[in-house]
């Protein structure tokens, strides 16, 4: 997948907005809360939130690292996109979206 494929997938999810933060990071948000971050410069990497019990395993798995600045909140960065197929990556992005959405106030979740 390339950045446009990822962008198209994220934008298909309900109520997703995109924004450029910190000058060079494309962020996809639900309710103004990020669920996916992609740097616009350098190599393609994707940062997203995972389940707490997945974090330890994924952060040491080939192709993943703990996300800089976000690891304490159980975010990982996929540094080698070849370790996941399209469906697996879409599942992680959808999971991240749902995890962030679940933390929004009930009024915003509707």
Top-level class of domain 3-109: alpha beta
Q: How confident is the model at residue 1 (pLDDT cuts 50, 70, 90)?
A: confident
**pTM attached to this predicted model:** 0.91
Give the mean model confidence (pLDDT) for residues 21-30.
92
Is residue 109 pLDDT above 70, yes or no? Answer: no
How buried is residue 47: exposed, middle or buried, by Cβ count under 10 Å (0-12/13-18/19+)? buried
Is residue 69 pLDDT above 90, yes or no? Answer: no
Q: How far, in Å, CA of 43 to CA of 41, rounded? A: 7
Is residue 10 pLDDT above 80, yes or no? Answer: yes
Task: Give 30-68 pLDDT, tens digit per residue.
Answer: 999 999 999 999 889 999 999 999 999 998 899 999 998
Is residue 110 pLDDT above 80, yes or no? Answer: no
Between the CA of residue 66 and those of 10, 14, 37, 59, 106, what are the distances in Å? 21, 27, 13, 5, 29
């Amino acid at each position: 997948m390339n950045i446009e494929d990822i962008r198209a997938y994220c934008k298909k999810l309900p109520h997703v907005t995109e924004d450029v933060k910190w000058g060079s990071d494309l962020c996809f948000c639900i309710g103004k809360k990020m669920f996916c971050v992609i740097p616009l410069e350098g190599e393609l990497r994707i940062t997203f939130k995972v389940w707490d019990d997945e974090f330890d395993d994924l952060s040491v798995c080939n192709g993943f690292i703990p996300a800089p600045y976000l690891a304490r909140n159980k975010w990982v960065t996929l540094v080698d996109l070849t370790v996941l197929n399209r469906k697996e990556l879409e599942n992680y992005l959808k999971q991240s979206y749902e995890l962030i959405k679940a933390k929004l106030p009930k009024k915003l979740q509707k």
